[in-house]
Structure 1
Amino acid sequence: MADTPEPAERPRRSRAADRILREAMQLFAERGYERTSIADIQAAAGLAPGSGALYKHFPSKEAVLAAGMARFMEGAERARALIRSVPGPADEALAVLGRAAMQMLADDRDVLRIVWRELEHFPELRDQVREERMQSSYAAVAEWLRERNARGEVRVEDPEATAAVLLGSITSFRVFQTLLGEPPARLEDERYLRAWLRMMTRALGIGDAAGGVGDG
């Protein structure tokens, strides 16, 4: 079978375009898409008022939003690569994946606000984000569980449902914090991650499944 060609890299944006995109996404998250004008974005990006300089890089405000969502979706491939390649025994790998998920969601805090509050007005973009970033991430975790189960490292009856619990619990924690300004029960990340890892390790039978020491 011939090797599958690598996907073409997206063209690199100029520094000005990156600055416009960064500032626009922050404004969309803080003020909302409709309440953010082209003039607001240009001012935040340090462009001359009334110059129309934004249009040298993006054809419209909606194109700026779409570019921000495209960058968000690109993160899914990085997540899938990590899930496929994370080494070590299941408990160590699970800790790496949990910490990485928390960090990625923290890095995407502005985008999460936009996804939850703004994309209902852009159904095609919403559906694309749902499939290419969110559903694909759950599918990758389910595949990881399926492979570890086949190797006897975990015990999983329903990989898809278990993936929804594993990743969904972290997503819920971070979304709560992002939308409401503080985490559930005002927990620090490390405290939450320790509890998450203890519960998930036991639920997956890690150690017991591999013939290791159980909880006793």
Structure 2
Amino acid sequence: MPDSTDPAGRPRRSRAAERILREAMRLFAERGYERTSIADIQAAAGLAPGSGALYKHFRSKEAVLAAGMEDFVAGAERARELIRTVPGPAEDALGVLARAAMQMLQDDQDVMRIVWRELEQFPELLARVRERRMQTTYAALADWLRDRADRGELRVEDPEATAAVLLGGLTSFKVFHTLLGEPPARLDDDRFVQAWLRVMLRGLLPDTRPGS
């Protein structure tokens, strides 16, 4: 269980608890939730396999999984803050957001494997991740697109659908790589982002309209 919370209400854990959580999420991603035992987690975290030391920090194996998902969800607030505050003209800001999204997805590879492969058996956790991580991030991007369109920087007819296209493309690229072991067309991230930006900006910048 978390040792305390910080002023924002996020878990503040001991180093041992963080180590347990990190190793558990790695094992869940590699082996699957059901095939990972408490003893496996304790051994990976440097604890005696039969000691029950994990229970000093977490109530159960499912509580460890839930803690990992809560950390994943907390990352959405960092993403939303970047979307709200990214500086510069829209075409530059879009590049910053794309690269930040790719880095977050890279950092969260283990969690993505767990979400896609394991959370169906935990519908409440899946709903929490879907609503508080994914849907809120899409909504924040839609608001950003709407604001930039209101300023005349972008041409956006449907902010929600456009956000789904923009973020969905980045997410799909990284999920493909994470789940199948190599990226689509064997592209590196930078080459993909450059192509993504060229395509998206042609459709979004006002001076790309036919006859302009």
- TM-score bracket for the superposition, by shorter chain length: over 0.9
Task: Quote the residue 2:19 is aligned against.
Answer: 19
SS of the equivalent of 1:153 reads coil
Match of 1:4 in 2: none
Deviation digits for residues 30-56 of structure 1, max 9, x if unmatched?
000000000000000000120000000
CA separation in 1, counterparts of 2:11 and 2:173?
34
Shift of 1:161: 0.2
**Could you say which residue in structure 2 is the equivalent of 1:198?**
198
Distance in 2 of aligned mates of 1:89 and 1:200: 15
Given the alignment of the two structures, is residue 107 of structure 1 paired with residue 107 of structure 2, yes or no? yes
Partner of 1:129: 129
Letter aligned with residue 117 of structure 1:
R
| Correspondence for 2:41 | 41
Where does structure 1 lack aligned partners over 5 or more consecutive residues? 1-6
Letter in 2 for 1:180: L
Aligned to 2:169: 169
Q: Which residue of 1 aligns with 2:94?
A: 94
Separation in 2, partners of 1:203, 1:62: 45
Give distance in 2, aligned partners of 1:11 and 1:172: 30
Q: Secondary structure of 1:118's match?
A: helix
Query: What fraction of aligned residue pairs are identical, expressed as a percent?
Result: 77
How far off is 1:11 after superposition?
Answer: 3.6
TM-score (normalizing by structure 1)? 0.92
- One-letter code aligned to 2:133: R
Corresponding residue SS for 2:12: coil
- Alpha-carbon deviations, 1:83-112, whole Å to 9, x = none? 000000001000000000000000000000
Alpha-carbon offset, residue 8 of structure 1: 2.9
Q: Distance in 1 between matches of 2:117 and 2:18?
A: 23
1:9 Cα deviation from its structure 2 partner: 2.8
2:151 corresponds to = 151
In structure 2, the partner of 1:71 is: 71
Say which SS state the counterpart of residue 162 (structure 1) adopts: helix
Q: List, as ranges, runs of 4+ consecutive aligned residues in structure 1 with deviation greater than 6 Å.
A: none
Query: What is the alpha-carbon distance in structure 1 between the residues aligned to residue 11 and residue 174 of structure 2?
Result: 31
The residue matched to 2:155 in structure 1 has which SS? coil
1:119 aligned residue: 119
**Alpha-carbon offset, residue 115 of structure 1:** 0.2
